[in-house]
Amino acid sequence: MTEYRTVGREAADEFTVKKSRFIGYAKPVTTLQEATDFIAQIKSKHWDATHNVYAYCLREGQLSRYSDDGEPQGTAGMPALDVLKKEGVTDCVVVCTRYFGGIMLGAGGLVRAYSHTAKIALDAAGIVTMSLCTVAEVVCDYPFYGRLMPLLAQHGAVTEDTAFADVVRVTFHIPADRYDRLAADVTDRSNGRVGCTVLEERFGQV
């Protein structure tokens, strides 16, 4: 896998239908522990809610789980999970909190309500594409630094850190399939005086 879709940040949104209040939360996670911790956090925050339904998908172990949390089977957790799958997101958890307003929604109404809750949570968090990236650094003098930054931008690299001392140390990430061309360009533009050093490979937003 060279890329995947997930949410960009933790976020929430809500709506009301037939006096029932639905609050959707979404968060990017990478492990089962992070997912369960977030679910526990929302359950604690909304301890007085009628239901705290959840669903999550993880790349780790290709794991996906959901809970109806007391709603009729198949009307809550599965619709929320279906939204994650239809949007093609992973490493993501959603929690759909409901405060019952006294009017029954029926099975179809519940499915629509929980699907909508999960969807507005994802929309609030923003779906992003994570690409396999090479993280590297360049150590150069100040004159070349002025030429390096436009070069990194031209190749689509994202600067992560810049340290200024007697020399300049720039850490950046770039989609893995673009790294070799950038490294060659840096060496060429510096007449062989400056090179890129690979630090690691990981997924990142570009």
Tens of pLDDT along 66-120?
Answer: 999 999 999 999 999 999 999 999 999 999 999 999 999 999 999 999 999 999 9
Answer yes or no: do 83 and 115 share one domain. Answer: yes
User: Model pTM greater than 0.75?
Assistant: yes
For residue 173, the enclosing domain spans 131-205
Do residues 51 and 113 both lie within one domain?
yes
pLDDT at 11: 97
Counted domains in the chain: 2
* Residue 1, SS3 per DSSP: coil
Q: Which two tokens stand for residue 21?
A: 């209040």
Beta carbons within 8 Å of 74's beta carbon, 6+ residues apart: 68, 107, 111
86 and 173 co-located in one domain: no
Distance CA 51, CA 46 (A): 9
CATH of the domain at 146: 3.30.70.240
Provide long-range contacts, Cβ within 8 A and 24+ apart, for 39-47: 39/93, 39/95, 42/95, 42/97, 43/95, 46/97
Low-confidence ranges of the chain (pLDDT < 70): 1
